[in-house]
Structure 1
Amino acid sequence: MPTNNSLNALAAFVVAVSAPFGAFAFEKVTTRNQFVEIVSGKDLKLTGITVNVTPGGQIKGRAYGFGVKGEWKWQNGYFCRSLFWGKKDLGPNCQEVKVHGNKIRFTSDKGTGQYADLTLR
């Protein structure tokens, strides 16, 4: 089972907090249509994590050997999700979304919390 640090980072979106891409200029995603265009048909990946965010509002995948499932909606410029990791309910969180090339950054608590950079593939 992952450590508490892994679980805390998972709450940001799926699992890990990643800093290497912090120096790049990420651009904020401001609309649902823009977000769907970016993620549609792609997996969001980070070591140990593969998640798919569907245009219909579903989140599904795996993280560190456990299933990930949830729902999302776009609300007031934020990606708002409810998420389960295995049997653990990570609850709701609205997140700022930014993109740079094939990297997508989710920052919890409307952009004030932890962030996770995932690769779009």
Structure 2
Amino acid sequence: MFRKTLLATLVFAASMSVAAADEIRRIHSEARMIDLVAAHTYKDAKGNWVRINANGTMVGQYGGKSLNANWVWSGAYWCRNGHLGGAEIGSDCQEFYASRTQFHTIRNKGKGDWSSLMTRQ
């Protein structure tokens, strides 16, 4: 009985540490954002997708429209500017939150709307 309880406790503790390691956290540097997110394709629940590249570009599709944009890191913010379906989307610096499998942003330097949660494919 003791061995079963000990084994169950160890399995539970190991699963909790894996979950904690993949917790979404605020990203404060370009290097960390690139390490976590760059060169992977992410999708949201609506089927929109994006790929953020380490070279400062990103591509994707939102609402059936093609996304082509550039990004830079400025202070503590991820800033993007580009076109969605040929229309200018404007510049916006955003708080960036990520784990190894997901990310989202909060527009207007953390004072605006949350973006959709994007999950690595």
TM-score, normalised relative to structure 1? 0.74
Question: Which string of whole-angstrom CA distances, capped at 9 and with x for unpartnered residues, describes residues 84-111 of structure 1?
Answer: 1102211000000112452211000011
Counterpart of 2:31? 33
Q: Tell me the distance in 2 between the aligned counterparts of 1:84 and 1:35.
A: 22
Question: Which string of whole-angstrom CA distances, capped at 9 and with x for unpartnered residues, describes residues 25-44 of structure 1?
Answer: 63110110000011122112
Decide which moves more: 104-113 or 42-51.
Answer: 42-51
SS, match of residue 56 in structure 1:
coil
Q: Aligned residue pairs: how many?
A: 97
Counterpart of 2:62? 63
Paired AA for residue 45 in structure 1:
K
- Whether the 8 Å contact between 2:36 and 2:99 is mirrored in structure 1 is no
Q: Tell me the distance in 2 between the aligned counterparts of 1:100 and 1:57.
A: 20
Q: Tell me the distance in 2 between the aligned counterparts of 1:75 and 1:111.
A: 14
Matches within 5 A, 1:1-121: 26-46=24-44, 47-100=46-99, 102-116=101-115, 117-121=117-121
Unaligned runs of 5+ residues in structure 1 are 1-24
Post-superposition offset of 1:50: 1.2
Structure 1 runs of 4+ with >3 Å offset: none
- Whether the 8 Å contact between 2:68 and 2:84 is mirrored in structure 1 is yes
More helix by share: 2
Q: Tell me the distance in 2 between the aligned counterparts of 1:82 and 1:40.
A: 17
SS, match of residue 115 in structure 1:
coil
Of the two structures, which has the highest relative contact order with CA contacts closer than 8 Å and spacing of 6 or more?
1
More strand by share: 1
Unaligned runs of 5+ residues in structure 2 are 1-22
Q: Tell me the distance in 1 between the aligned counterparts of 2:37 and 2:53.
A: 8
TM-score, normalised relative to structure 2? 0.74
